[in-house]
Chains A and B, each alone.
Chain A
Amino acid sequence: MPLVQTKYFGTMSYEDESVFDFPCGLPAFDEEKRFVFIEIAEHTPLVFLQSLSRPSLCFLALPALVVDPDYCLAVSVEDRAALELALEREPRPEDGMLALALVSLHDGLSATANLMAPIVVNVRARCAVQAIRMDRRYSHQHPVPGLGIAPVCEGAC
């Protein structure tokens, strides 16, 4: 099995099914075109997007539906083409789609998720794009539910 040097979990072996192609890279990381998606039981429902070419690059992501149970996808025609999807309509859940929101930590105290530009994954074709929404329906810094200030007490709680 192939091996990948990860940012958080040392060297890991991975299945080819866990690798997703990002044909366009990600904004600010245009050269990063292949990521392994790592799920660790103790960190569920977090998904770690580990770059295959850069061990120090690993995004934390949450399924958009975890961040907002009513989240609705909106994918532009250009992004549908990159995802090898039907161009004439929005992707539907039965198309095997997954939307992941990249997570940002703020001084270790709180976290936000980018619902404005989710990573939209075509699970069947094993490819993904960061699909920037054209509408203003969701924030690029959506608070992650239940994540206000981390507990500061030690031992007592």
Chain B
Amino acid sequence: MLVLRRRAGESLLIGDDIEIEMLELTPQGAKIGIRAPRETIVLRKELKITREQNTHAARGPESGDLGKALPGIFSQQLKNLPSNR
């Protein structure tokens, strides 16, 4: 990974047409401005991870397999856990 130190107001360039500018740096985080072609997708990484994770979670057990899939994994072990409800 390339690591650079930049101050507020400074920029860096990726390729010919992507510019990333440091707008503001605070203890809570950095505010970043991105100039990129319209077709370039800019995404928070957590959102991409969440999409992938949701897609995986949505697969779940097959509709007829719930009774088969869950007892081994869930029902027995979880019964003893504290519940918040």
Contact = CB atoms under 8 A, between A and B. Distances in A.
Contacts, number: 113
B83 to A, nearest CB: 5
Given A105-B61, A105-B73, A26 B78 contact: no
B72 A28 contact: no
A105 B60 contact: yes
Given A8-B66, A60-B60, A132-B46, A146 B81 contact: yes
Interface string A6-25: 01100000000000000000
Contacts of A114: 50, 53, 57
Contact of A59 (B47, B60, B69): B60
Contact of A150 (B51, B73, B79, B81): B73
Contact of B53 (A58, A141, A145): A141
Nearest to A101: B57
B77 A147 contact: yes
Interface residues of B, number: 34
Contact of A28 (B51, B69, B79, B80): B51
B69 A105 contact: yes
Interface residues of A, number: 45
A42 B78 contact: no
Contacts of B72: 108, 150-151
A146 B79 CA distance: 10
Interface of B: 29, 44, 46-47, 49-61, 63, 66, 69-70, 72-75, 77-85
19 contacts: A8-B61, A28-B50, A28-B51, A44-B83, A46-B78, A65-B82, A65-B83, A104-B57, A109-B73, A114-B50, A114-B57, A116-B46, A117-B46, A117-B53, A132-B47, A132-B50, A145-B81, A146-B78, A151-B72
3 closest A-B pairs by beta carbon, nearest first, are A146-B77, A65-B84, A150-B72
